[in-house]
A and B are shown apart, each in its own frame.
Chain A
Amino acid sequence: MELTADQRWELIEKISEKTVKFGAYRHTLKDAIGDLTVRPSTGIPVAIAVLYGFWSIFGSFAGTLFTDGFMCKIFDEHWLPWMQSVFPGGLGNWFYAIMVDAGHIQNGMLTASDNSFESFGVLTSGLFVPFGVVLPAIFIFYLMLAFLEDVGYMPRLAVLIDTLLHKIGLHGYAIVPTILGLGCNVPAVASTRILETRKQRFIMMALVATFIPCGAQIGIMQDVIPESIGFVMLYLFIGYFVMGYILNKVIPGRAPEILMDVPPYQKPMLKNIKRKVWMRTSGFLKVAVPFVLLGCLIVNILYLAGTIDWLGNVFAPVFEGWFGVPKETAGPLVAAFLRKDLAVAQLSAIHMTKYQMITSVVLVSIYFPCVATFAMILKESWKALLGSLVVLLIAAFGWGGLLHLIWKLMGVA
């Protein structure tokens, strides 16, 4: 049976009379708070408070409670001494150095390490970094992110930051790869697919690989340079926008506007949160643990073969002259290609000033993506990878050199 247009409208009217409630809609408190968190004048203060809460809980849980409270004790006081006592070979043996502890020179003598950060063995640092430092950091990071997503806050943050991100050729949804990148750069690169144009995806990939330190790295920074982490993050954050602005001007292509659907606030569902946290944390561990172990192995072999010292000598004029850091940072920078978190841990063992340490940590963040991110960008597009490498090179020299200049002007370099 076919209906005429009038009959169809009549049918629609009858259905809507039975199913739709008509009347004036009164705003509830939930609606009002929803509006307030989207409007810039009130939403930005709320975003500042939410991010404060986010990082405060991150630091207390991952740093104070787990890593400093228990993991350092387990690894430094029990695991490392046990490995040092039972592993065959002993200090000075090449296999022992790779697997347990390379030791360090103190008063002209090769001395055993007393913590898992400095021992740098596959079975000591290689296990301490992913399980003792990174796992608590990544777990709490993804737990809070899942909570904010489930409550409905993330779309509001995207709307809030939309205007600002348009200045660098992106839009509000770019907050997703940015925040994911603070957990792990690999899913962040994958999530750049939510951006519409090739130009936007390239800008986002380059910025994630360059200026967004991953959760593992932040976790280590929290332990190694707790008093300077705020400055490092701020410097990278400014670099993110400066480089984004330049890339937006230089790279041809479109940066279209988008329409965003902002859902109402809702009670978070435990099942959703559990599933998201499990999926992301287990995915991260599957990627991270093999790379950390492999990273320790390769870096130790390079050290033993003298390659790192050779690289340090070759690049000494650049490290000491341009960046103002000791040439020994060459080793951590090579290690950073394998795991950036390990590289920051390695930096802690090098004798340098607070300002040199900040510069070194910034360099580790921006000079090159870790190999997992590198592979992920390559999977997306080799052109994007080449372009990102050019951006990285410029950023590392420009932003790293600028930091050295700032220290010089302050009279501390």
Chain B
Amino acid sequence: MNERIEKLYVVYFLVLGLVTLGFGMADFIVTASGSEYTSAALIIPNDGFRGGWGGLVMIFAGIFYLSGLKNAREIHQLGKIVMGSMLIWIMAGTDIFGMIAGSIPGGEEGWFNTAKGFLGTYAPPYAPAILLLPFSLVVIFYVHRHYRESKTLKKA
């Protein structure tokens, strides 16, 4: 049973790693093309900072996930998977902070934003890291499970 769950986790992080890597590469391609990509849910910025530097961080996050998959129970390998998620948290955290910073001032209309304008800032489309954020949080359950198993083994 445990082995099956472990395999499921590995497959999950494999897919997440590939998607993250894909988003990182897409960031680069969009930045190089010079025109922003926007769909209903996703926006990929084309500026050198978010698209270029940020894209590089996304690529590293994907590589961290993928390189941690082999013997994922070993603590250093697990550390790589956690680092993959942490890199996504840095990206998503800064994107969300940027949204918060942009949503408070009122611009031309007044000191503070209107309720509609404030809430409108948080509507989709979102940057790739924000879309990946909920999926990256699964690592917390994985780490928790790892520690629970280690404790059980110790007792045995």
A interface residue numbers (CB < 8 A to B): 27-29, 31-33, 35-36, 42, 45-46, 48-50, 52-53, 55-57, 59-61, 64-65, 68-70, 73, 227, 230
Verify B143–A29 contact, CB threshold 8 A.
yes
Interface: B69 (CB within 8 A)? no
Verify B79–A61 contact, CB threshold 8 A.
no
Nearest 10 interchain pairs by C-beta: A69-B105, A32-B79, A45-B60, A56-B94, A65-B101, A60-B101, A53-B90, A60-B98, A64-B101, A49-B57
Closest to A74 in B: B111
Verify A32–B48 contact, CB threshold 8 A.
no
Verify B83–A46 contact, CB threshold 8 A.
yes
In whole angstroms, what is the CA distance A52 to B58 when docked? 11
Can you offer 13 A-B residue contacts whose CB atoms are under 8 A?
A: A29-B75, A29-B78, A36-B76, A45-B64, A48-B53, A49-B61, A49-B91, A56-B49, A56-B98, A61-B101, A64-B101, A69-B104, A230-B48
Question: DSSP majority for the B interface?
Answer: helix
Binary flags per residue of B33-57, CB closer than 8 Å to A gives 1, else 0? 0000000000000011110011011
Tell me the minimal C-beta distance from A160 to chain B in angstroms.
14
In whole angstroms, what is the CA distance A34 to B29 when docked? 33
How many chain B residues touch A (CB < 8 A): the figure is: 35
Q: Which of B56, B90, B111 has the most CB of A within 10 A?
A: B90
Contacts of B53 in A (CB 8 A): 48, 52, 230
Binary flags per residue of B59-84, CB closer than 8 Å to A gives 1, else 0? 01101100000000001101110110
In whole angstroms, what is the CA distance A60 to B102 when docked? 8
Known contacts A29-B82, A32-B76; can you find 17 more A-B pairs with CB under 8 A?
A27-B76, A28-B75, A32-B75, A32-B78, A42-B83, A45-B57, A45-B87, A46-B60, A46-B86, A50-B90, A53-B93, A55-B49, A56-B98, A59-B98, A60-B102, A64-B101, A64-B102
**Given A45-B60, A50-B90, A70-B111, A33 contacting B79 (CB threshold 8 A):** yes
Contacts of B75 in A (CB 8 A): 27-29, 31-32
Contacts of B143 in A (CB 8 A): 29
Select which of A27, A33, A36, A60 is within 8 A of B94 by beta carbon: A60
Interface: B122 (CB within 8 A)? no
How many cross-chain pairs have Cβ atoms below 8 Å apart between A and B? 96
Select which of B63, B90, B98, B146 is within 8 A of A52 by beta carbon: B90
Tell me the minimal C-beta distance from A35 to chain B in angstroms.
7
Binary flags per residue of B97-132, CB closer than 8 Å to A gives 1, else 0? 110111011000001000000000000000000000
Contacts of B97 in A (CB 8 A): 56-57, 60-61
In whole angstroms, what is the CA distance A49 to B90 when docked? 7
Verify B101–A69 contact, CB threshold 8 A.
yes
Select which of A35, A50, A55, A70 is within 8 A of B76 by beta carbon: A35
In whole angstroms, what is the CA distance A46 to B97 when docked? 20
Closest to B67 in A: A42
In whole angstroms, what is the CA distance A64 to B103 when docked? 10
In whole angstroms, what is the CA distance A149 to B143 when docked? 26
Closest to A46 in B: B83
Contacts of B111 in A (CB 8 A): 70, 73
In whole angstroms, what is the CA distance A117 to B26 when docked? 38
Contacts of B47 in A (CB 8 A): 227
In whole angstroms, what is the CA distance A32 to B79 when docked? 6
**Given A28-B75, A45-B63, A70 contacting B105 (CB threshold 8 A):** yes
In whole angstroms, what is the CA distance A45 to B20 when docked? 15
In whole angstroms, what is the CA distance A294 to B104 when docked? 34
Tell me the minimal C-beta distance from A110 to chain B in angstroms.
28
Verify A33–B56 contact, CB threshold 8 A.
no
Verify B64–A52 contact, CB threshold 8 A.
no
Q: Which of B50, B57, B101 has the most CB of A within 10 A?
A: B101
Closest to B57 in A: A49
